[in-house]
Structures are given as structure tokens and as C-alpha cells.
Chain A
Amino acid sequence: MSSLTLYPEEEKLQRGERAVFNLYMVSALVLFLLFMLLGLTMRMTQADWTDVSATLFYRIMTMHGAGMVGTMSLASTAVMWFFLRKYVHLHLWAFLTNYVLFLLGALCLLWSVFMGGFASAWTFLYPLPVRSMGLWSINTAALFMVGYLLIGVGLLIFYLDAAAAIIRRYGNLGRALGLRWLFGGDIDPEHPKAVVASTMVIIANSLGVLAGAVVLVMCLINAYDPQVALNALVVKNLIYWFGHMIINATIYASVIAVYELLPRYTRKPYGISRPFLWSWSLSCVFVIIVFPHHLLMDYAEPRWMLVMGQLVSYAAGFPVFLVTAYGVLTNIYRSNIRWKMPSMLAVLALFGWAAGIVPAIIDGTIRVNHVMHNTQWVPGHFHFYLLLGVLPMILTLLYHVSGGHRQAARNSGIDKGSLALYVIGGIAFCLAFLDAGRMSVPRRFAIHLPEWLPYDKAGSIAAILVILCMLTFAARVIGGLLKAPVAGDTGGASQHVDPPNMAG
């Protein structure tokens, strides 16, 4: 069970660990801001408020997508590492290697897009990367794919180290997931939720990353030897398997911060249970097999896969609504919670995740997909659970850790005011997308018709608000992270929280 101590001793970052963790998180915050600015540029171009050529627009779009997915993955890996290292022995070199390979991969992506002109969207659907109509070279496309491969290899190295550590401690991955308690037996109340969630992420995302690696190598071979022709549908399946997994893994890894930290602010135990174990085991299966819901408009796809895409989309909502979101609500209900930035962000995160998947699940219906696929409905729902779900999960940990040197999470009026504006801006930003989807406004269009501009303008204003708030969060958190522990401070030593209902 996770600790109720606000800053437990076993969570203390050693000097080397602190340096690597800060590298991850400071880089992630800076990159989030950079890629948000790219997103804003796209919205303002669509709103006809800035003059960006279609050529540049699609480069920006490619970088925004690839960059955001990569950065989410980077930051959520750091969240998972931060908590998992308390329960199993992780090697710092593996964590650092992932960071170095991410940076090298990111450099490849940046060079390929902004120097080589690559603009095939982050999904690099075959055969567009090798059919640029003269806008970029084969070498540029290959550099982009090598960038992805480097990022993927980094993740796999981290996962292999984490999997080995979990197996050393628990015997096998099934025991770490708690499979032995699904149908009976006394559940070990000390079995950490962080281990269950990390194991699920390792299993599912390793498969996704491997699928990505396979398809990237296939595309690289085809790029230099077109005689090795590829089946476009098989390639698309592998790409969406990879793409769906890597972005979903960020949610499942980041939610560990909520499991671990929220009980410390509610001062109420948040124990492990059979429904919890069922939900994570089922989520592991669902998240691996749900990817065909991205291919519902590929009529050549086998029918059973399309049906599976719809049904598993529905089923995947159960663990989120009934176990994770419901569990969080139960934990905070009449808990006399201390409303600090980490606890507020944690609750926001679960709201963002639970509310954001409503339009996502609805879009997983084939009949709905007929009219919503590739409209702005799609960025509407994924921005909802990324902007109001995953990012707040990551910020939950960062706000908590950044106050570690003084044993209290940062919690000023600036922070709270920014959070309120962030919620308003974030919801408005996503609703502008969703409402545009209702009006059949296509996604990934550089130029918009006059009747679509009001949605773009509303989205742009909301995006500016979100970015200003994010700038405040980043400045506050980075300031806290970089502050060295004060003399005599244990750098995160234990501070026991008063038992429930005895403190104000």
C-alpha cells in the first residue's frame, strides 16, 4: 500500500537520481511549452490570424504530433521510474540511457522536419514518407524513422531493466500484476499499485514499441529498395498498434502519481482490491487489442477486427470509470482533504481522463466513426484526456516533488489561479475542437473555410490561456526542482501526516 507520509524517506532522490530526474522533467516541461506553441501556431493559422504556408504548416503539424507524443512518453516514464524504484531495484544507467536516446531521437526528428522538410504527420502512414512529391528526400524520411527507432530502443531498454527488476522481486510479471488474486485468496495489502500499473505498462507498451520497430524497419527497407513492396493495410495496422499503445501507456504510467500521492493529501488509505487487480489485468488486454478502432473506416480490414475495435473501445471504459475514477472519488469523499496543488491536479487529472474518454468511446462506434473520423472531433477528445488528464498527472508529481526541499508542495495564489484558468482554457480549447467536429470540420487542414473560423478563433484564444498557465506551472516547478536541498535537510525526509480528521 502506498505511504500516507507526505515525503517518505524511501522516496528521497540521491544526488545522481535527482540530476537525471531533473533532466527528464525540465526537458519535458520546456518541450511541452515549445510544442504547445507549435500547436497554437497551427490553430492561429487555421483561424486566419497568422500567415503560415501549407508547407510549413504540415511540418509544424508533424513536429507537434511527434514531439508531444515523445515528450508525454518521456515525462510519464519518469513518473513511473520515480515510484517504481521504491519497490524494485532499477538501474540508473537504464533510466539515463532512455533519456540520452530520446534526446538523440528528438534531434533526428527536429533535423528531419525543420532542415529536411519532412511533413508526413507523426503517423508516417505508408507510403507517404517515400511519396513526398519532391518536398523531402528519402534520406530525410529515413532520418525521421531512425529518430523514432532511437526513442523506441531507449524505452525498451528502460522496460527491460524494469521488467528484470520486477521479476527479481516478485518472481514473474503475472505475480506482479496480481493475477493469483483475481479469483480468490487473500490479497497482500502491501502489494504496491505502482508495481501493478508499471507491469501493465511494460507488457503492453513493449509490444507496441516492438510493433513500431518492426514497421519502421520495414519502411526503411522499402525506402531504399522499393522492390520490397509493403502491404499498406498491414503497415497501417502496425503503425496504429504502435501509436495507440505509446500514447495510452503515458496515461497508465502517469496515473501512478495519483495512486501514490492522493492518499497522502486525503490522509485516507487507498488500498489495493480485487476490482483494482481485475481492472488492470483487463486494461492490459484491452489496450493491446483495441487499436483496430483507428481503422474502422478501412473497410478492407477483417470484419471481426472492426467489431473488436468497437466492443473493446466500450469495454476499456469500464476500468477507467468504475475503478480508477470511482476509486479516486471514494478516496476523497469526506476525507477532509488538504487542497494543495498536487491534490487539486490529481483530481483534475482523473476528471480529464474520465470525461475525455466519453467522446472517444462514442467515436469508437462504427456508425459514429462514419461521420466523425478524421474530423476535429478526434483532436477534441485526445486533447481532453492529454491536456486535462495526463499533463495534470505529471504536474501532480512535479508540484509535489518541487516542494520537497521545504516539505510542503508549492501552493501559492499564482499556482491556484493558474490552475483555475488552465481548467477553463483547457475545456474551452477541447470543446472548440469537439464542436467543430460536430460541424464536420476536417482535422489536419492548413486552410479553413470562412464558416469554420469561429471554432479556430475560440480554440486559439483558449490555447493562449492554456500556454500562459503552463508557463507559470513550468517556471514554478522548475524553480522548485532546481533548488538544492537546504543544509541539514534530508532532501525529502519523512514528514508524517496527522491521522484522518485530527488536523485542520
Chain B
Amino acid sequence: MIFQNAIWTVSLIGMGLVALGFLYVILQAGKPADDAASGKAQRTSAMLQRWLFLALLALGIGVSYTTLRHFPIPLQHSPLQAAQVVDVVGHQWTWDVSKTQLKMGVPVEFRVTSDDVNHGFAIYAPDGRIVIQTQAMPGFTNKVLYTFDKPGTYKIVCLEYCGVAHTAMMSEFTVVDDGGRS
């Protein structure tokens, strides 16, 4: 499943559960409750709240462990030892990219910086979806490590607003497979 679609599905489920909770209570809200029913509702509510707390806590810990165990950003102050290295410099409103042909299946280190304002360095796959991004900042070099698993023409799109021609700040590179096909 495409990662963005998974995120969208999980979000819809989460928002849907919130909506269902509200709808259920709204449908009950117009009904009166006597003292006995109120007391029972209060006890049930307190128990449910505790279970919800535990469930969310377990979910939070589980997701945090899964997503942070292998930290998703490479170390910035040590060599990454990638076989392919690309230097990227953002300018208002162009990209300087040191290599425009890369090999599939071989790790690439992008060293991204800017010589003027903040830019956003995002790589769009041939299907039009983002695969990875970082910020291009003046005075800093952000290192991205990525291994392409599909050949084709990839786009570099600026995702940090950088002035009037921000939209036009795009570039391209190709990823080729072992046979040299893109």
C-alpha cells in the first residue's frame, strides 16, 4: 500500500471513531436519566475512560517504539558511506544538483543546503507522490539517505515558500536500473 494512502486511511478511521463517539452521545443526549441511571452511567464512563487511557497509552508507546527504533533521519555529523553522493544547493528560484543520473538500488546521500533563504527539498516519484524531503537552509547542510527502488524520472520540488516564483522552483533527475533503463 502506498504510504500516503495508509496515512489517509488511519486518519479517516481515527476521525471516524471520534465522530461515532460524538454521534452516539448526541443521540442519547436528549433523553433524561433518573438518579440510578445517572449513577450507572457515571461508573461506566469512568471505567471506559480508564480503558481508553490504557489503550491510547499502549498505542502511543507502540507507535513511538516502531517509528523511532531505527531513527528515520541519518546522523548528520558523521560520514554516511553512501556509494552515490549528490550535492544540492537551493537558490531563489532554482536548484543546483551535482548529479542528474542515479542508480536504482544503491544508497544515495543528498547533501542539501541553500545560499539564500529557506527552501524545501522534496523528491517526487514518477507517480507524483513525495518519497522523502528535508529543508534546505542557509548555513546548514542537511543530509538525506535514500535508496530508490523504482527507475524513472524524479522531480525535485521546493516545499518551503521562498518568494514569488516558489512554484517554479523545480528540477529533475533520473534513476536507472542495472540495465541503464529509466
Residues of A with Cβ closer than 8 Å to B? 54-55, 58, 61, 119, 121, 125-128, 131-133, 135, 231-233, 236, 266, 275, 297-300, 303, 306-307, 310-311, 314-315, 317-318, 321-322, 325-326, 329-330, 332-337, 339, 347, 350-351, 354-355, 358-359, 362, 365-368, 370-375, 434-435, 437-440, 442, 444-447, 451, 500-501
Contacts and interface: CB of A to CB of B under 8 A. Distances in A.
A374 B129 contact: no
B73 A310 contact: no
Given A125-B118, A233-B140, A439-B129, A300 B15 contact: no
Contact of B4 (A55, A298, A315, A439): A439
Interface stretch (B21-29, B82-90, B96-104): B21-29
Nearest to A504: B32
B79 interface: no
A355 B167 contact: no
A358 B53 contact: no
Contacts of A318: 53, 56
Contacts of B32: 334-336, 500-501
Given A315-B60, A336-B30, A347-B26, 20 more contacts: A131-B117, A231-B139, A233-B139, A275-B49, A299-B73, A322-B53, A336-B29, A350-B22, A359-B11, A362-B11, A366-B68, A367-B67, A370-B72, A370-B130, A371-B129, A373-B120, A373-B159, A435-B8, A442-B157, A442-B159
In the complex, the 3 A-B pairs of residues with the closest C-beta atoms, listed nearest first: A358-B14, A334-B33, A299-B142
A370 B8 contact: no
8 contacts: A128-B161, A135-B163, A236-B118, A299-B143, A322-B53, A334-B29, A354-B22, A434-B8
B106 interface: no
Nearest to B38: A334
Contacts of B8: 434-435, 438
Contact of A125 (B18, B45, B160): B160
A445 B26 contact: no
Given A119-B164, A451-B128, A297 B133 contact: yes
Contacts of A314: 60, 63-64
Given A314-B63, A322-B49, A329-B22, A128 B29 contact: no
Given A299-B144, A333-B28, A127 B3 contact: no
A339 B118 CA distance: 49
Residue of B32, B76, B157, B165 with most partner-chain A CB within 10 A: B32
Residue of B19, B68, B130 with most partner-chain A CB within 10 A: B130
Contacts of A125: 117-118, 160-161
Interface string B62-77: 0110011001111010
Looking at chain B's contact residues, is the secondary structure mostly helix, strand, loop, or mixed? mixed
Contact of A131 (B21, B30, B60, B163): B163
A300 B114 CA distance: 13
A61 B167 CA distance: 14
Given A127-B138, A232-B137, A434 B11 contact: yes
A335 B32 CA distance: 6
B163 A334 contact: no
B132 interface: yes
Contacts of A315: 60
Looking at chain A's contact residues, is the secondary structure mostly helix, strand, loop, or mixed? helix
A371 B120 CA distance: 12
B25 A333 contact: yes
Contact of A351 (B18, B60, B130, B138): B18
Interface in B15-54: 15, 18-19, 21-22, 25-26, 28-34, 37-38, 41-42, 45, 49, 52-53
B150 to A, nearest CB: 15
Contacts of B41: 333-334
Contacts of A445: 166-167
B68 A54 contact: no
Nearest to A503: B32
A309 to B, nearest CB: 11
Nearest to A325: B18
B53 to A, nearest CB: 6
Contacts of A434: 8, 11
A132 to B, nearest CB: 7
Contacts of B25: 329, 332-333
Residue of B11, B41, B56 with most partner-chain A CB within 10 A: B11
B37 A366 contact: no
Contact of B167 (A330, A333, A365, A447): A447
Contacts of A351: 18-19, 22
Contact of A438 (B4, B60, B141, B162): B4
Contacts of A317: 56
Contact of A334 (B7, B31, B117, B138): B31
A446 B15 CA distance: 29
A375 B159 contact: yes
B15 A332 contact: no
Nearest to B19: A355
